[in-house]
């Protein structure tokens, strides 16, 4: 039996994907900084292991708090699982509803990423769909997944500016 995912929109009437938020902008520069940003709305899928869901939550909070950065979150935390019956159906949902509409796939590069079958599948789907992959080095760790390093278009350290700049650099 496949993993169970259930998107928020089917139960709460909301729209999928979930939207990130941002801090109010300081417009003291007369809007100059906003015009310097290449784009302000990004479609992001974060590949992660539910066994390490706290890292996913920490990364989403970091993106939500980033200045002048709006994003649509196409990833799904464990509590919002899709209801699928088989691994094949889950793979199709991952491809069609999460990875295909994303402009960038972000992969948390903890050592667990090397051994996670689903993270490997998500990386392969991203490559098949021509999606750029941003690897994020683990927070507070000196070790990074070789698998993620080999497949990432760019690797960044765990801080807001690096991650946001990496997403902006890779987004089409």
| Domain spans in the chain, listed from the N-terminal domain onward | 8-18+40-170
Q: Which fold has domain 8-18+40-170?
A: Rossmann fold (3.40.50)
* Average pLDDT of the residues of the chain: 76
| Lowest-pLDDT choice from 13-17, 74-78, 105-109, 143-147 | 13-17
Distance CA 70, CA 83 (A): 28
Identify the three-state secondary structure at position 118: helix
Give residue-wise pLDDT tens across range 106-156. Answer: 998 865 544 567 888 999 999 999 999 999 988 776 677 788 899 999 999
Long-range Cβ contact pairs of 146-150 (< 8 A, separation 24 or more)? 146/114, 147/113, 147/114, 147/120, 147/123, 148/107, 148/109, 148/113, 148/114, 148/123, 149/109
Angle at 81 between CA 109 and CA 101, to 5 degrees: 65
């Amino acid at each position: 039996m496949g993993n169970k995912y259930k998107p928020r929109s089917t139960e709460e009437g909301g729209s999928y994907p979930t939207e990130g938020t941002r801090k109010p902008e300081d417009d003291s520069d007369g809007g100059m900084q906003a015009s310097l940003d290449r784009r302000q709305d990004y479609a992001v899928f974060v590949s992660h292991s539910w066994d390490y869901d706290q890292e996913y939550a920490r990364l989403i909070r970091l993106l939500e708090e980033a200045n002048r950065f709006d994003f649509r979150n196409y990833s799904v935390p464990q509590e919002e699982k899709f209801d699928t019956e088989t691994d094949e159906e889950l793979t199709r949902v991952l491809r069609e509803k999460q990875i295909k509409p994303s402009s960038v796939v972000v992969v948390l590069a903890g050592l667990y990423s090397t051994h996670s079958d689903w993270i490997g599948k998500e990386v392969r789907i991203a490559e098949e769909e021509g999606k750029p992959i941003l690897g994020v080095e683990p927070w507070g760790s000196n070790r990074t997944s070789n698998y993620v390093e080999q497949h990432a278009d760019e690797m960044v350290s765990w801080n807001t500016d690096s991650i946001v700049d990496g997403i902006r650099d890779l987004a089409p």
